[in-house]
Structures are given as C-alpha cells and as structure tokens.
A = this chain, B = another copy of it.
Amino acid sequence: MEKIPYKIYLSENEIPKQWYNVRADMKNKPAPLLNPGTLKPMTLEELSGVFCTELAKQELDDTTPYIDIPEEIRDFYKMYRPSPLVRAYCLEKELGTPAKIYYKFEGNNTSGSHKLNSAIAQAYYAKKQGLKGVTTETGAGQWGTALSMACAYLGLDCKVFMVKCSYEQKPFRREVMRTYGADVTPSPSATTEVGRKILAEHPDTTGSLGCAISEAVEVAVKSDGYRYVLGSVLSQVLLHQSVIGLEAKTALDKYGVKPDVVIGCAGGGSNLGGLISPFIGEKLRGEADYEFIAVEPASCPSLTRGRYAYDFCDTGMVCPLAKMYTLGSSFIPSANHAGGLRYHGMSSVLSQLYDDGLITARSVEQTAVFEAAEKFARIEGILPAPESSHAIRVAIDEALKCKETGEEKTILFGLTGTGYFDMVAYQKFNDGEMSDYIPTDEDLKPGFEAMPKVNL
C-alpha cells in the first residue's frame, strides 16, 4: 500500500453528485415537526410559508436515500471543495500514540467552516423559487458569513440577525458579512415585535440563537419574497452536510482505511450529522460498525443532560415544535461560554440516533478545549475554531487512551473550521482569564419547566 499523504485531495469529479439522506435508512424515523397551534405534523404547505418549497420538501422527505445535487451547487462547491482529508502525522508523533488520526478539514474557505455547504444549497433553492432574499440568525458568525457569501454569489438579499454577544465579541465577522453585501442586526433588536418583547422582559440579555431565530422568522414571514433559512438542526441541513462524510469516506476508501471512531463537535448537529452520514448509513444497514462520539460543551450539554422531548426551536415560540434532546428554549449558556455550540437543542436526526444508542455523546469543559486547540495549532499548523476544538479534545483523549492500551485505533474527526475570528476567546485563554462553568441541576430546571406540554 502506497504511503498515505499528509493531505488527501479528491479530484473535482469526485465531489459527490448526490447528497445522502440518512433518514431513509433509519428504522426509527426522527419525529416530525409539529404545528405549535394544532400539534399536528407540519404539512408541506405550512412549512412552505417559512422555508423555500424545495427545502420544505427535503425537510419532510425521510424515505429517499439519495438526492441529486443540482449542477449550479456543484459548480459552487468546486470553488472550495473537495476539502482535504488530513492525516495528522505531526499530532500522532507529538502524542506518541499508536493511533492513526485523520481529520476532515472544512475551514479552507472564507466562511471559515463547513456551513457553506448548506448555505449555497439553501440560497440556490431560494433563487430558483424567484425570491428576493432570505433571513437568518447567526451565533458565532460562521453561518451568517457562509450565507452572505452564497447570497452574494447568486445576487440574493441577505438579512442576518446576529446573537448580540457574538456581534460585540466579533466585530470583524460583521464586516465580512457586510463586505458580502449582507445586512447584519444584533439580536435581540428593536426591529421586530418578538425582539422588542424579549428586550422588554430581559433588557440586559446578550442574546441567544433562540431569540435570533425568532426575529429572523418574523421578518421572513412578514416580508414579501423572503424565506427563512437555518444553518443547523434541520434535517435538510444534515442532508446537505452529508458531502463532508461522503468525501471523507471516498478518500479513506482509496487507501483501504476504515475508521474505528468518528468524532465531531455538536451544537445543532450539522457537522456531526454530515460527517457521520455514510458511516452511520452502513451501520444502520448492518454493513459495518463504527463508534460515533458527539462532543458538546459542558456549559451547553443538550445530549448529555437534556431531555428527549418536543420543544420550541426558538425563544419566541414562533417556529414549529421539534422532538429533540433539549435544555429548553429559554436556556442560555453562562456568560463565560466562549465558543459556539450554544443552541439549546439538537438535530432530530441525531437525537433519535442517540436515543437508539447508535451514537454516544461526551461533554468537555472549555479550558480543556482551548488547551487542545493551542496544542493542535502549534503542531498541525491550523488555528482551529473553538467549536472544532471540542472534537480535537476528544480525539486527543482517545489517542492518549490508545497510547496506554497500545491499541492502533483509527480516529477520524471533523475539523469544522478556523478560529481567525475567535481571537477574543483565545486572548482570554492566553491571558489565563478563561474559566469553566458547568450548569447545576438547578440552573437547568427553568428550561425544562418551560417546555411545551405536548409530549405524548
């Protein structure tokens, strides 16, 4: 067997021609979105008021295993894909581990993350439907940047509600979005009804994804020719993100490599869901077995400490209800939480897989995450996003376990993006001012209590 290079680049022709829809292979399908008024499953017509029609169809489709990627989207993918699958030779050597470590690096594009994979898809369908523009929320700013880029490319208007604390911590993210022609508003804002309501109740709030979603949905529904788009959580997003896993698997297959463990950070689940998709597909079909680890922040532990229940997707409670592992839509991570991964719930697909015992989850504290990030940056030469560094932390931990046991496990993790716009957080870490905070059971109680009483 030929020596595996540091970076495996597929050719342009090997960019997937179809997305893989994991739901088609799930025996226990993810629970449907519910209309918050009637508590009945959302129909295509209802969903189409909020989402582009084609995306609403994808959201409801849990039977078609492969969905063609339109040529125009593939052309856009060619500008930054295939993304490299990297063999972490330097990290392995530094750790002295017999484990073989690979990472799929999605940060080699200006949005700085994997989010662009779904942004271009969603913008494309909006354009095709003849819309004027789209609205969205963004937390750490990666999704907003990705959507701005996709909209600039297609000539669509783009309105972004950015969680206020991120807006303040990351002024330059806003400028990138503006350079791509987007309109960026810190959330909660006085520009929407729901924003004004939240501000009246919590004048000092630094915002949350849940608030920003409510504002973006309100603007989409009230504006002519606009729809709302979302960067994570939804099943359609996991569908688009399957390109990550499909490319990773094609690259590994070329060298006859099969991962034992697949690790991804998990906020809403877009990266993890995309990365594991072809592998979990094989597991669901009984063709192969893998261990999957979702890594989440100890300060926002939806899988490890949340409840599996129907919940509101947003703070303003204007969205459909989703069944997911959740901390409650009123949950906001403590102010010392530095990275992304701050959504209160988790993708319905991943929640169901987790509930079925097909994937595992682990929570990590942020100082340990930044230690891993800094080590990785110095050894592998890439300054990682705090989000991605959750996966790095657990990949290193697993590799160190192998050092103890002597196991030669093959570890694959998702390096979702770069941390170039997260230097305020790195500065805190460099100055020794970063702390950990694990919410107490008391802290979690209000979120659980505020959940809707529809859990049948």
A interface residues with partner B (beta carbon < 8 Å): 5-7, 9, 11-12, 76, 78-80, 90, 108-110, 112, 149, 152-153, 171-172, 175-176, 178-181, 374, 377-383, 418, 420-421, 423-424, 426-427, 430
Which one of B78, B175, B427 contacts A5 once the chains associate, using CB atoms below 8 Å?
B78
Q: In the complex, are the beta carbons of A377 and B7 less than 8 A apart?
A: no
Q: In the complex, are the beta carbons of A426 and B80 less than 8 A apart?
A: no
Q: In the complex, are the beta carbons of B423 and A175 less than 8 A apart?
A: yes
Q: Which residues of B contact A9 (CB under 8 A)?
A: 9
Q: Which residues of B contact A178 (CB under 8 A)?
A: 426-427, 430
The list of the 8 closest CB pairs from A to B, nearest first, reads: A172-B423, A152-B378, A175-B423, A6-B78, A5-B12, A420-B420, A110-B383, A79-B381
Q: In the complex, are the beta carbons of A153 and B381 less than 8 A apart?
A: yes
| A66 CB, nearest partner CB in chain B, Å | 24
Closest to A86 in B: B79
Q: Which residues of B contact A153 (CB under 8 A)?
A: 90, 378-379, 381
Q: In the complex, are the beta carbons of B179 and A383 less than 8 A apart?
A: yes
Q: In the complex, are the beta carbons of A110 and B79 less than 8 A apart?
A: no
Q: Which residues of B contact A108 (CB under 8 A)?
A: 108
Q: Which residues of B contact A379 (CB under 8 A)?
A: 153
**Known interface pairs A6-B79, A149-B381; A374-B109 also in contact (CB < 8 Å):** no
Q: Which residues of B contact A426 (CB under 8 A)?
A: 175-176, 178-179
A80 to B80, CA, bound (A): 15
| A162 CB, nearest partner CB in chain B, Å | 15
| A319 CB, nearest partner CB in chain B, Å | 30
Q: In the complex, are the beta carbons of B427 and A381 less than 8 A apart?
A: no
Closest to A78 in B: B6
A379 to B109, CA, bound (A): 13
A176 to B425, CA, bound (A): 11
Q: In the complex, are the beta carbons of B110 and A175 less than 8 A apart?
A: no
| A157 CB, nearest partner CB in chain B, Å | 14
Closest to A422 in B: B172
List 11 extra interface pairs beyond A153-B381, A175-B423, A176-B426, CB under 8 A: A5-B11, A6-B78, A110-B377, A110-B381, A110-B382, A110-B383, A172-B420, A172-B421, A175-B426, A179-B374, A420-B420
Q: Which residues of B contact A172 (CB under 8 A)?
A: 172, 420-421, 423-424
| A33 CB, nearest partner CB in chain B, Å | 32
Q: Which residues of B contact A180 (CB under 8 A)?
A: 377-378
A179 to B5, CA, bound (A): 27
Q: Which residues of B contact A179 (CB under 8 A)?
A: 374, 377, 383, 426, 430
Q: Which residues of B contact A110 (CB under 8 A)?
A: 377, 381-383, 418, 420
| A224 CB, nearest partner CB in chain B, Å | 25
| A16 CB, nearest partner CB in chain B, Å | 16
Closest to A120 in B: B381
A175 to B370, CA, bound (A): 14
| A348 CB, nearest partner CB in chain B, Å | 31
A176 to B373, CA, bound (A): 12
| A401 CB, nearest partner CB in chain B, Å | 25
A78 to B9, CA, bound (A): 12
A418 to B80, CA, bound (A): 14
A112, A179, A424, A430 — most chain B CB neighbours (10 Å): A179
Closest to A111 in B: B381
A79, A152, A153, A427 — most chain B CB neighbours (10 Å): A79
Q: Which residues of B contact A430 (CB under 8 A)?
A: 175, 178-179
Closest to A3 in B: B12
A199 to B176, CA, bound (A): 35
Q: In the complex, are the beta carbons of B176 and A423 less than 8 A apart?
A: yes
Q: In the complex, are the beta carbons of A181 and B149 less than 8 A apart?
A: no
A76 to B93, CA, bound (A): 14
| A223 CB, nearest partner CB in chain B, Å | 23
A/B interface sample: 9 pairs, CB < 8 A: A6-B79, A7-B12, A79-B380, A110-B382, A172-B421, A175-B426, A176-B423, A179-B374, A180-B377
